[in-house]
């Protein structure tokens, strides 16, 4: 029946649910459950921006589960993106500026206007009218769950969708407005939970995709969730959540495994922080939550930051074990095999830590003057987090990397962070997914950009993103001296990513063969310093033993 339906649609050359543009209109129109939208055309490409997928989370809806969109009449304009979610006016500029400085470039990004009314998404389709049901890729942006948006120019889908997919990018609530728990919030919730509103927004966007994406030519049964950094960690949380059933078939995790970089916090910890913020809130009500909901969003952010600085640490942007969306440690979910049955592509960059060292107030400006003390502390504090994976080898692992750091300093510390916090967890995830009957494809992105900053940064955190989206002209990245080899590597990466979204297998004729993970030889694809895709074997770092049976025993108690 689906095939016959598709033939019928093709014969009409009109997409399912589409409405012919009215006389004098200049953009494509679609009929959604909530009303009609008009997007814009870029040649044959159709773009729909600023589509509401949930009601504005303002007033009494602040810190509530996302609610349905109110229907509208007429044709809603969808040619401009919606507002970014509440964040610093600097957005991601503090991350990018010091990186550019190491390359000798003065970077001043544009200020980021933001609003609490921000639950919008954007859709790119490769052609219009739609021709068939295409695979769908849903992007979760990075930014530590405190900054960024789905409408950043970096995530323009023009190049990616040319490979025959539909791209959806979303906004989700950030910082204290997206990840905030409070005893009163827990009591008023029908699920007796609070804290993970940003993740719930992502769920709401995926439900929107399932309900509406066919109107844009997408296949709601073939959805790939992908993200980078915090967006990758969030995708991993959705991968282990029981609420995700049926919402996606595949997941791509870029530089953010769902365990290894920390884990969600107990609900009680979040409630303690929230109660302290509520107690400090000005207002006449005896309810701290009511007083907080009455404050402008910027005042809530300032108040929470003050309380955090004075009484708590590392609260903003953290997810919580809320007993509903997340009920146990992600590592345990993988160990006992109750994660969603989805194939995965997962990887990391060659020197993830270097970008964060550059952001530090005392960041080194050259590779031969590292801020070693703080990095040593970072690795030392990681011991408790490493123990579930490394077991009795934890102390030996740290001793090895710290000894190497005495001689190789910054580069060795970056390798220690990569191996222990990302590579070993990525290998463990891949082994456990494979043991559960799913496919896993592992990569390492080692391409670094020649120039003044290369020795200090290498393949730094986030550098693969412009390759995934062919975003070399975007001002966030065009300060890097990219070459033709980079553009060729970008085309290769886009093919691998979109092939995986189409079939669950990244390979196609003309590409180097990328083998699915096996515990015997641990194959992975290296995107090399020379901008080549080269198949490798033996992914696991020192003392990281990835036998599925061993991993299940060690992680089941998390």
Buried b / exposed e along 458-467 (16+ C-beta atoms within 10 A): bbbbbbbbbb
3-state secondary structure of 51: strand
Alpha-carbon span 135 to 137, nearest angstrom: 7
Q: Do residues 16 and 215 touch, judged by C-beta distance below 8 A?
A: yes
Q: Where are the beta strands (DSSP E) in 404-532?
A: 440-445, 524-527
Which are the contacts of 278, defined by CB distance < 8 A and separation ≥ 6?
Answer: 182, 184, 287, 288, 289, 291, 292
Segment holding 183, helix H or strand E: helix 183-188
Listed residue (260, 555, 265) closest to 386, CA to CA: 260
Count CB neighbours of 37 within 10 A. 27
Q: Do residues 170 and 118 touch, judged by C-beta distance below 8 A?
A: no
Give the residue carrying structure tokens 């997206």: 178
User: What is the DSSP code (8-state) at residue 112?
Assistant: -
Q: Do residues 174 and 144 touch, judged by C-beta distance below 8 A?
A: no
Alpha-carbon span 207 to 247, nearest angstrom: 7
3-state secondary structure of 10: helix
**167 beta partners:** 124, 137
* Burial (CB count within 10 angstroms: exposed 0-12, middle 13-18, buried 19+), residue 44: exposed
Q: Which residues are catalytic?
A: 229, 352, 461
Positive or negative CA dihedral for 428, 431, 434, 440?
A: positive
């Amino acid at each position: 029946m689906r095939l016959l339906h598709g033939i019928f649609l093709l014969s009409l050359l009109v997409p399912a649910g589409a409405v012919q543009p009215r006389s004098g209109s200049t953009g494509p129109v679609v009929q959604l459950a909530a009303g009609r939208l008009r997007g814009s055309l870029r040649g044959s490409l159709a773009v729909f921006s600023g589509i509401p997928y949930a009601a504005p989370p303002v007033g009494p809806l602040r810190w509530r589960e996302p609610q349905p969109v109110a229907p509208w009449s007429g044709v809603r304009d969808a040619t401009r993106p919606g507002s970014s979610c509440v964040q610093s006016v600097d957005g991601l500029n503090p991350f990018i500026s010091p990186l550019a400085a190491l390359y000798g470039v003065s970077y001043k990004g544009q200020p980021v206007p933001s609003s609490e009314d921000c639950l919008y998404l954007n859709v790119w389709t490769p052609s219009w009218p739609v021709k068939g049901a295409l695979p769908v890729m849903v992007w979760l942006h990075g930014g530590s769950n405190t900054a960024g948006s789905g409408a950043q120019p970096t995530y323009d889908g023009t190049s990616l969708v040319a490979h025959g997919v539909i791209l959806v990018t979303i906004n989700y609530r950030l910082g204290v407005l997206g990840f905030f728990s409070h005893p009163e919030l827990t009591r008023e919730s029908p699920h007796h939970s609070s804290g993970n509103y940003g993740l719930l927004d992502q769920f709401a966007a995926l439900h929107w995709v399932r309900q509406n994406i066919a109107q844009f030519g997408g296949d709601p049964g073939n959805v790939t969730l992908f993200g980078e950094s915090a967006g990758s960690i969030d995708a991993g949380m959705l991968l282990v959540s029981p609420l995700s059933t049926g919402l996606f078939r595949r997941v791509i995790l870029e530089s953010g495994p769902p365990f290894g970089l920390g884990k969600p916090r107990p609900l009680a910890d979040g409630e303690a922080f929230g109660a302290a913020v509520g107690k400090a809130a000005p207002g006449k009500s005896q309810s701290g939550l009511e007083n907080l909901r009455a404050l402008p969003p910027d005042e809530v952010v300032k108040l929470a930051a003050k309380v955090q600085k004075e009484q708590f640490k590392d609260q903003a942007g953290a997810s919580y074990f809320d007993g509903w969306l997340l009920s146990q440690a992600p590592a345990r979910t993988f160990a006992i095999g109750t994660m969603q049955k989805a194939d995965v592509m997962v990887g990391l960059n060659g020197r993830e830590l270097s970008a964060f060292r550059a952001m530090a107030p005392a960041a080194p400006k050259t590779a031969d003057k590292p801020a070693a003390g703080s990095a040593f502390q970072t690795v030392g504090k990681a011991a408790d987090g490493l123990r579930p994976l490394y077991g009795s080898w934890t102390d030996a692992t740290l001793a090895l990397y710290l000894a190497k750091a005495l001689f190789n300093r910054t580069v060795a510390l970056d390798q220690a962070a990569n191996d222990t916090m990302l590579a070993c967890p990525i290998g463990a995830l891949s082994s456990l997914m494979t043991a559960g009957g799913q496919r896993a494809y592992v990569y390492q992105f080692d391409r670094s950009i020649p120039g003044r900053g290369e020795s200090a940064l290498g393949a730094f955190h986030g550098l693969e993103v412009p390759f995934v989206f062919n975003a070399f002209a975007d001002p966030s990245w065009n300060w890097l001296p990219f070459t033709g080899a980079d553009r060729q590597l970008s085309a290769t990466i886009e093919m691998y990513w979109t092939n995986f979204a189409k079939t669950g297998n990244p390979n196609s004729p003309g590409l180097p063969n990328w083998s699915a993970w096996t515990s015997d030889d641990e194959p992975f694809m290296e995107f090399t310093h020379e901008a080549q895709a080269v198949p490798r074997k033996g992914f696991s770092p020192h003392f990281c033993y990835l036998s599925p049976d061993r991993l299940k025993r060690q992680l089941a108690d998390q």
